[in-house]
Every structure is written in C-alpha cells, then in structure tokens.
Structure 1
Amino acid sequence: MGVTLIAEKLFDGERILADVAVTIGEDGTISTVGGGVSSTVECLPGLLVPGLIDIQVNGGGGVLFNQDPTVAALERIGEAHSQFGTSAFLPTLITDKLPVMQQAADAVSEALSAGVPGVIGVHFEGPHLSEAKKGTHEQGFIRSLSDEELSLYAREDLGIRLLTLAPECVAVSDIRKLVALGVHVCLGHSNASADLVEAALDAGATGFTHLYNAMSPLHSREPGMVGTALIRDDAWCGLIADGHHVSPGAITLALKAKPQGKLLLVTDAMSLVGSEATHFPLFDRVVTREGDKLTSSTGELAGSHLNMIGAVRNIRDWCGVELPEALRMASLYPAQFLGLGGGVITEGARADMVLLDETLRVSRTWCRGRETYRRA
C-alpha cells in the first residue's frame, strides 16, 4: 500500500484543482490522482505542485561542484536546493581541467547508482567556449574538443548529459557527433554570428544557456546569438530571473518572442545558496555576495544566488506571468527539454512534488516519493 496525500489545492501541470488525493506507490511513482485513499492518509494545507527542475546548478549548501566533485558534495547540494523546491537537478561543472571533469563524471555516476535524491545527470558548461565571452570561466582552461572529452561525454552511466559550447569553437560535424551520442547540446558563452548559430542548431543543438548573458548581442545588421535564439521557435532558452543577469523588460521581450514552452527558469546557483557565507574562492579570485548579487573580484557576475521558487516568484511578480505558467517554466518545460516525463502530477509520473504556502514559500519537497525537505 502507498501513502495518500490529500492536497487542499493541487496544480497538476495544467490546472489548479481543490481537495485532490494523490497516492504515492512504494516504487516512488504516483499510483493514483483523485482516486481512493490508502490506509495512510495525510492532509496538506497549501498548494501541491510538480517538483522544480533546475538544469544549471553549480553548487549549494556551501559546496561548489568544481571544488568538491564528490558524491557527498552532490548530496549536500541537493539538500540545499530541496528547501527551495528543486526535486531534480543537473550538477553543473564550469570550465576546468580534464581530471576534474572526469572526477565529476565519476561522482555523478556513483550518485545515480546510489539514488542520491535530485541528481538526474550532469551539465558540463564548457570548456569549449569563446574567450571573448568567457564571463567568470577560467581562460586558461578554455580549449578545443579533444578525443578524451568526447569519450567522457559519451558515457551512458551519467544519466542526462548536457554540454554548453560555443559554436565557433566546435565544428558542426562534432556537434552532430555529440547529438548522436545522446548529448543535449546548448549554445552559450559565444561570440558567434547568426549564421554559425543557425548551423549549430541545424546540426542538432537544441538550447541556449542563460539567454542574453555571455553571448553575441542582437544588432540591426547582425542578429547574433541573442537574436537567433529569439527567432528560432524550435530552440529552448534558459533564463536567470534574478534581476541582475536579465532585466524584467528583457524577459518580457523573450516571452513575447518565444513560443509557449520554450523558456526555462534556471538558477546558475553557486555554493552560497542555502548557506550563511558571504564569499568563496573561485580559481584565483574571490566571489562576494552583496544582497543576492554575486560579483567576482575581477568585476564580473559570478553565477547567482537565485533559487528555483525565487525565480518563479520573480517572473510572476516582475513580468506578470500567471502562476501556472511560471510553475511550468520551472518544471514541465525543463522536463520536456530534457526528454523526461516529469513536471506533472499524474498517474505513473515520478512522485517529485513541492508543497507551497500562500506566499509561495516551500513547506515540503518530495523526490521519488521520499520527503527531502520539511520546513520547521
């Protein structure tokens, strides 16, 4: 027998319903919605929604994945983000040495085998990026695609594999090869022309990493990466809705330009999320938090202090996005981009869910039917 939760309100991914029973089976999936109840029943005050999915998580809980590419670090990062409604995430390794990439891959593989809550794969953000648009990435580690890295990306024990690259730095033939290996290719940290971007998309790239940031801008005679991302209806775009990376006006423009379902909320979160610390080292620099803004000692933005439910609130409050759509941008649409069956509360779906109070604060989080966070 499973456990039945009776939600005061439930958003199933499509609509908001009242007084709905959700039964979680012993296998961690949802066995029934709106049906009978099991012997164990719990009533939930608030709004029950699908678990949030973050495809760009550099760290949390005081841990940065680059600095501690271990299973223990992934557990801590997952715990930190679960308090903000994230029930599935891609640990993200920014540009680094090959041995660090290999160690991170091994940690992800072990975490998946051990069932570490939240971990669904890995996002390699670099190292095949444009030096002109490197942002906070370490220039000394930026490099061309090698056979060693190609072998790493081909590993099928890593779950979902996402790679951010600059199309001017990776041949179209190699993009096709990556896609054939099952890698989700995103474009970013790039100074490419629109023609190069179009060629990469035609070769199988499907998304853009943090739209507007660290990419060739839209000009009247050259659409650049930003313009092409807005033009191409078939491409997904991540947005860091923290008020520092992208303005509300730029988000509104993207909402008007892109088809529904092609914009995803991401955090690009660093180690300070879920931590009381105010600074941390990053390679040979120091990143400092002032309020919710992270700045490197060399002056550029260095990731974010954003969390997923905060991104949902921001896009609702700043851009007038209705709550159901804001939630879809943080759950259903990332699931569709990654080819998952998540982002919904329906029979047969993985029991990844979040309970929100009336202020959209997270009360509880479940991953595969297991409670991973409960607010005191």
Structure 2
Amino acid sequence: MPVLAITHAHLFDGDQFFKDKTVLIENGKVSAIGDASIIPPDAEIYDAGGNILAPGFIDVQVNGGGGVLLNHSPTVDGLRAIMAGHRQFGTTAMLPTLITDTREKMLAAIAAVKDAIAQHVPGIIGIHLEGPYLNTERKGVHDASIIRPMEDDAIEVLTSLPNGRIVVTMAPEKAKAGTIAKLTENNVLVCAGHTAGTYDDVQKAIGEGLRGFTHLFNAMSPLNHREPGVAGAAIADDNTWCGLIADGFHVHPAAMQIAVRAKKTGKIMLVTDAMPTVGAKNKSFVLGGEEIIATNGRCALADGTLAGSDLDMMSAVKNTVEMIGTDLAEALRMASLYPAEFLKLGNRKGRIKPGFDADLVLFDSAEFSVKNTWISGQ
C-alpha cells in the first residue's frame, strides 16, 4: 500500500498543538511527522485543510449505536453496525458493552467480540461486561431479576477473551474477598459500578487491584462529608480511572467541574454509555420490555429514569469544553489518551507519534464536526 500523507493539519499529537503539519502513515502506523518536505514522491495525499487532526477517540462504554443494541445482537454484524454508528463521530476504538444479561448472552457477546477482533473488524478492541454482578439497590435500568451473585465458574467466563481487553463492572461489596485480585491477575480490568458500597468497601477493592469506576456519580453511593461513599472514594484515589458521561443529564456541569478539578489529572476519561439511537434515525428502542426514547439527547424510560445516553464522543468533547470550561487539549486527552492508558494501550494508542497506531480523527474545532477518521490508516 502507498504511504498516506495527511497535509496541512492543525495537529494535536496528544500533548500539544502544532500548525500546518504533515503526518505520514505506513502499514497502519504513524511513520513520520514534519513539514511537506517529508512527503515521498509516490505518496497518496490527503489535505486536512487546516482542520484539527487528533488521536481517534476511545470509548470504553458503548451499549449500542447505529440502531443496534449489543444485548439484542451479540454478533459480528451487530458489532460492525455499532462501530459504524459511532465512527462518524470520531470514535476509532471501542469496547462494546453488554448490560446485565443471561450467561448465554454473555458467552455469545464474548464470542462475537473474539471473532470480530480475529476478523480485524475496525475499532473493536474488547468488551465491557456491565453486570450482572451488581447491587440491586443501585441497579438503574438493569434487570433486577438477572442481577445475581458471582457463580463459581464466573472467573473462567470473565477471562475468556484471549485477543482483546475485558472490562468488568461489578459491585465490590457483593464480591467475595480475593475475587477482584483473581480477575486482575488474569488481565481483567475491574471497575466499580451499580454499587451501594461504602468508602471502606472501595478501599478494600482498590487493594485487590480495582482499576476504575463506571460512570462517575451515577448508580453509586454519593459523596457525603461523613461517609464519602463510592463517589468520594473514586475522586480521592490517585491510581484509578473514572468514566464520565458528559451529556449534561447524567451529571450536572458543576459536579463534572468539581470532579475534573479534584481528581488527579489523567484519571478521568470520557465515555458515552451510548444506546442504539446514536448514529441512527430511529430515536427509540426497547430494553427489558420497556420502551426507551431519546429526546433532545436524553435517553429515558417513560417515567423519566435515565437509560444510557444518546451521546457521541465528539459531543462529549464539545460539552467538556463548553459546559465545564476544560481546554480543548485536555478534553481531547480525556477522549483518547486517558482511555488508552486505562486500557493499558498507552504505548500504541492515544497519541499521534511515530510507531503508534494510525487511529485519527479530523474535525472542525469551530463546529466540532467530524470531517474524517482513520483506523489503522484506513
């Protein structure tokens, strides 16, 4: 394949901005960055037109998109549709997310992701199992009848993806001592979520290797001045990551601002928690027998209960800048570099530099509209 030269880019390399740069891509990797003099004579040229070229967005919590919910279509074709729904908004890597479901559905989803990765389906890099080992006190829209204690062979299931990342969201207070340690030893990234645990419960979990917190503030015990709860423990700890749904509905902008200011820099990552409505014309779907409708960007049941989001990653970046005053560079890192580091992929994703995967997004910073994306240079 010929070398691809992306020219006239306002480059954000993951650390800082550079004007009028050329980025060369070879064999799916960034090979060089410089001025026009580095372009080989036989290169294919793509003119970025002065738009911002940034590391592609990495979304670690994606329930659905493109009209497809993973729980309803745990297949390679379903994964392709979800990825296509989000790619148009700058996502170049994702963890399709299975909401609490049966053992059979869990196995099917893991098998589909395994096959998709083996088939090099662009953008699919693992799976996020959000449940079923949750606390019904903080279940959200998860089906309480399927939420259950961890079975004796659960660890075997949760460690059964050999070619991608597995994130598991669980309520740490419901897990037997040593469970999180066993999962961590087997390269599972464990997050606390849908939990009514205490600050002390979280400290024990962190001691066993807890990696992060699923959708900060939502479906977890809140911060209180005498009992910091899961939310307080999440913000106070310097070694764990927090997912943040920056749609203005799940978390008030002031609370987002407090979290970003208080949590150690580099440890808050943007997630969408997206439902099938993202990238789809149909703005309603059914989950657990109940209709969920997206209205003005808000996904909810008829009674108003939030049910995932209608958020895409480009909008999450925009909201982070406009709602809470984060500078664009940091918002972009929250959408790419920090998720890459959470996933232990910071050595090849989240930056534009030689040797890194050529996963890129080109967008207009005035309108936050995506112009193009590349996944492994394609």
Q: 2:353 aligned to 324, 346, 362, which one?
A: 346
SS in 2 for 1:302: coil
Give distance in 1, aligned partners of 2:328 and 2:102.
41
Give distance in 2, aligned partners of 1:283 and 1:70.
19
Residue 77 (structure 1) aligned with residue 82 (structure 2): yes
Partner of 1:3: 4
TM-score w.r.t. length of structure 1: 0.96
Give distance in 1, aligned partners of 2:266 and 2:275.
26
Residue 107 (structure 1) aligned with residue 112 (structure 2): yes
Q: 1:42 aligned to 42, 46, 50, which one?
A: 46
Residue 178 (structure 1) aligned with residue 189 (structure 2): no
Deviations 1:143-166 (A, max 9, x none): 111133211111242500100000
TM-score w.r.t. length of structure 2: 0.96
Shift of 1:234: 1.1
What number of residue pairs does the alignment pair up?
369
Residue 366 (structure 1) aligned with residue 368 (structure 2): no
Q: 2:339 aligned to 328, 334, 342, which one?
A: 334
SS in 2 for 1:168: helix
Please list, as runs of the form range in 1=range in 2, the aligned pairs for 1:10-89 lying within 5 A after superposition.
Answer: 10-25=11-26, 27-34=27-34, 36-38=38-40, 39=42, 40-45=44-49, 46-89=51-94
SS in 1 for 2:32: strand
Deviations 1:196-217 (A, max 9, x none): 1110011100100000000001
Q: 1:356 aligned to 334, 359, 363, which one?
A: 363
Give distance in 2, aligned partners of 1:50 and 1:193.
37
SS in 2 for 1:79: helix
Deviations 1:95-139 (A, max 9, x none): 000000000011000000000011000000000000000000000
Amino acid at match of 1:13: G
Give distance in 2, aligned partners of 1:268 and 1:368.
24
Partner of 1:262: 267
User: 1:7·1:48 contact (CA, 8 Å) conserved in 2?
Assistant: no
The two structures, once aligned, show a CA RMSD in angstroms of 1.1
SS in 2 for 1:42: strand
Shift of 1:32: 1.1
Give distance in 2, aligned partners of 1:235 and 1:8.
34
User: 1:7·1:22 contact (CA, 8 Å) conserved in 2?
Assistant: no
Q: Which runs of structure 1 show a deviation greater than 2 angstroms over 4 or more consecutive aligned residues?
A: none
Give distance in 2, aligned partners of 1:145 and 1:305.
31
Please list, as runs of the form range in 1=range in 2, the aligned pairs for 1:133-282 lying within 5 A after superposition.
Answer: 133-282=138-287
Unaligned 5+ segments in structure 2 are: none
Identity of aligned residues (%): 44
Give distance in 2, aligned partners of 1:232 and 1:12.
28
Residue 301 (structure 1) aligned with residue 306 (structure 2): yes
